[in-house]
Structure 1
Amino acid sequence: METGKVVVERVGGKSAAIHCYSKYPLKFIIPNKVGPSQIDAVWIYTITYGGGIVSGDAIKCDISVGDGCTTVLTTQASTKVYKSVESKCSEQVLEARIGSDALLAVIPDPVTCFSTAKYSQTQVFKVFPSSSLLIVDWITSGRYGRGEKWDFELYKSTNNIFLDADEPLFLDTILLEQGRYSSIAERMQDYQVIAMVILLGPKLKFIQDQIQENVKNLMSQQLRIPSGSSGRYGDIDDNPFLTRPSFLASCSVFGQKGRGVVVRIAAMTTESVYSFLQCQLSGLDSLLGVAPYR
């Protein structure tokens, strides 16, 4: 059963939320205007009662963006997932339909799972060839200041994009689970954040080209081997000339004729990811009214 639903259509030549429904534990906030008056975009903020997702919560959202509309789905703070009680898993499901010449930007703050938490989210997007879609999906190691470093039991995030309702365009799942022989913290080592950014469609083409070039240049600097090294990699912990990069990113295309771009990130600080997103997505203020992660 749906926990929330928003429908955005063009009314009087402008994007407008014509239907908005939510029930406990979910609530939507839709400001009258975000950014300059000439910008045509509906901003939707999702919040949960109690300031986070409680063990056993099941939230299902449905978002429909009509032809020619622009919609932003975001949060006011990080999504906190509280500890699991009786091994219950918290779940969130988002199903979104983006019409022709429409743009949906899903730009939340990161998920932060508390110790022993179990959390699974699934996001399904249905697009047309002229639809545009931005997704930012990221998670921190937890309450690092309290000593909780990758201390949750389970995190699973699935993002699926379908073209013309049923043709798979992008299928992806990230799974972090405590193992019998190694913990998540051991596998993640010094990295405190992992993130994924997906850009798809004609309205985001200029950002796609820019971010591919920027990631290439950034990584060529980060991964440059110091001149004093022997040129042999070996174990990074035993080589005084090599240090583990504080920020790693990769970029690749997907879909026919490379219509989409996906960026994957691992970083040692949340601040560095915020800075990266601010820089790379700053050009979107002309479409969204306000640049993401300002």
Structure 2
Amino acid sequence: MTTSSSIAKIPSGGGRIALSTHGGKAWFSELSATYPLKLLSPRISDDVAIVYALTYGGGLVAGDCIHLSVKVECGAKLVLLSQGSTKVFKTRLQQRLSSVQRSLDDTPMGTPSQSQITLQKMDFTISSNGALFLLPDPVTCFRSASYNQIQTFHIAKDTSLVLLDWVTSGRKSLGETWVFSRYYSVNEVVVEGKRIAKDVMLLEDDASESSLSRRLAEKLDPFSCYATLILRGSLVEKTIASLTARYQNISVMQQRIVEDILWSISPIGSDNDGVVIRVAGKETEDVKCWLSEALSPLEDIVGVDVYRMAFHLSYRLCMRANSEN
């Protein structure tokens, strides 16, 4: 049980999740966070725990530093979600309290000042036979926003991992298409001390002139959503096999036009360490539907109700949309 004294030790913008099992039921030994981070856990299933990671105000502002530490003990299963896209507001001169404890040692050189960057760090430790399903909504950076995200996963050989990391072009309805200043995302997977994967995405404008902003949009055109998906472990073997066979069937076909969805799948190493899947879509909803269908075997693992909470849209509509692609 988390006490007020232990909460006081968490810096502003920090959070801790510790999940274990007792009698076949998921049980939190700690679930705590400080402003502007908030953690909520609805009880849907006894054997699978769900946590929503939210922020007060519906997004992050320049200077915010979120640092979440997650421990999944032996045999436990955790589904970590967000409620709506992670909105990163434009650079501001003001700073919230959460910027005081920030640390940007992992930030590449030549970046904006620390007070201008929004940082989100997540450190995961998954013990033997544990499972983590990280299925957040995409990151949406507003005009002129700068965002760094660093996620590190320390896992045992027999754990299962579903890692979804995706970003949108911005607020298309307001004419904001790839006009943020910077988006930097790192995902590192370490299996019992050995790094098996490190995926880095950097999208950045060198200056604030609109002409340069258009160049970034032109490079990423016609797509407005990019996703990276890492799958590993026995619980997702069925999903990996299905997607691998599906990709082998379509990769031999010549594409004459740009599809609404493009995707690829690649093995991680040579020791059956999982796969990395990359998806690009003209619309965010297209990518969401593709992911919903591609990961549908997870329904048998986490339950139908829990799974549909991850994508919170009509499953039938997604199935119909993917059948037409």
Is the shorter-chain TM-score for this pair beyond 0.5, marking a shared fold?
yes
Aligned partners of 2:196 and 2:273 also within 8 Å = no
For 2:198, which of 167, 171, 175 is the aligned residue? 171
Q: Alignment partner of 2:271: what SS?
A: helix
Deviations 1:117-174 (A, max 9, x none): 000000000011101100110000000010000010000000000011x211111110
The SS at the match of 2:163 is: strand
Partner of 1:48: 55
**1:150, 1:184 within 8 Å by CA — same for their partners in 2?**
yes
The 3 A distance-change label for structure 1 pair 219 and 247 is farther
Conserved? CA contact 1:115–1:142, under 8 Å:
yes
Q: What is the CA deviation profile of residues 165-218 of structure 1, one whole-angstrom value per residue up to 9, with x for unaligned ones?
A: x21111111000013685321211211001011101111111111112223334
The answer to whether the aligner puts 1:244 opposite 2:258 as a matched pair is yes
Provide the C-alpha distance between the structure 1 equivalents of 2:132 and 2:268, rounded to a whole number of angstroms: 18
Correspondences of 1:21-170 after superposition (within 5 Å): 21-34=32-45, 40-86=47-93, 88-164=116-192, 166-170=193-197
CA RMSD of aligned residues (A): 1.7
Measure, in 2, the Cα distance between the counterparts of 1:125 and 1:93.
11
Q: Relative contact order, CA 8 A, sep 6+: which one is greater?
A: 1
Structure 1 residue matching 2:129: 3-state secondary structure = coil
TM-score by length of 1: 0.88
Q: Percent identity?
A: 33
SS in 1 for 2:59: coil
Task: Report what 1:205 is aligned to.
Answer: 237
> Size of the alignment, in residue pairs?
271
Q: Which moved more, 1:46-55 or 1:182-191?
A: 182-191
Superposed displacement of residue 102, structure 1 = 0.8
- Name the one with the larger helix percent: 2
Question: Are 1:224 and 2:252 matched, yes or no?
Answer: no
The superposition leaves residues 69-104 of structure 1 with CA deviations (integer Å, 9 ceiling, x where unpaired) of 100100111110000124600000000001111110
Deviation at 1:220, TM superposition (A): 4.8
TM, length-normalised to structure 2: 0.80
Residue of structure 1 in register with 2:3 after alignment: none
Measured in 2, the distance between the counterparts of 1:3 and 1:100 equals 26
Q: Any stretches of 5+ residues in structure 2 without a counterpart? A: 1-10, 94-111, 316-325
Partner SS state of residue 285, structure 1 = helix
Structure 2 CA distance for aligned equivalents of residues 194 and 187 of structure 1: 13
> Is the strand fraction higher in 1 or 2?
1
SS of equivalent to 2:32 = strand
* Structure 1: gaps (5+ residues): 226-242
1:17 lines up with 2:28 in the alignment: yes
Mapped contact 1:80–1:113 kept (Cα < 8 A): yes
